[in-house]
Amino acid sequence: MASYKLIGKDFTAPDLVGKVTGKAKFAEDFRPAGMLFAKLLQSPMPHARVRKIDSRAALALKGVVAILTADDVPKIEAPEEPMLTNEPLYAGEPILAVAAVDETTAAEAIERIKIDLQPLPFVIDPLETLRPGGPDPRSDGNVANRNLKLQTIKWTARDFAGVNQGSYAKALVKGRGRVY
């Protein structure tokens, strides 16, 4: 059996006095010269396409250093998720990032950005995306995994009959891939 030095024993943490007195330093307490703060503009829609971003008013704000969009970051292939996107797949997915000299300026810059989003069909139930005519969670498909390229797969009535008999997992295991 393993012997433990601290489990089940009384001990005093080395930073106890600093934490209790307020003298301990945390990551938030360090502000090196030139440090920038980032804020994200997140999608208000469950599935959309970014048609236009007007960031002129935000860039004109004193203290805004940069605005990054999906066009400025490396492209990621599905099913991996990009850090920023022009096709948000869920409400809250980051569309762009603002870097500014302080948090208040970054937040104000986010408020000044005008974004034109085209709503797209969305799906909550993965089985609905498999139905013929059902909405796809991505513009370019509904099924993918690390070994299967993003594609559109729709099930037949026979496939759904199997689901009704409790073999949903079996149908997916048969090479159908991951359903978004």
pLDDT at 68 over 80: yes
Q: What is the pTM of this model?
A: 0.75
Contacts 24+ apart (CB under 8 A), 79-88: 79/144, 79/145, 79/146, 79/150, 79/178, 79/180, 85/50, 86/49, 86/50, 87/47, 87/48, 87/49, 87/50, 87/120, 87/138, 87/139, 88/42, 88/43, 88/45, 88/47, 88/48, 88/50
For the segment 7-47, what is each residue's pLDDT rounded down to a tens digit?
A: 888 888 889 999 999 999 998 888 899 999 999 999 999 99
For the segment 117-146, what is each residue's pLDDT rounded down to a tens digit?
A: 999 999 998 889 999 889 999 988 888 888
* Of 170 and 149, more confident: 149
Mean pLDDT over 59-87 rounds to 94
Domain ranges of the chain: 35-119, 126-179
Give the architecture (CATH level 2) of 35-119: Alpha-Beta Complex (3.90)
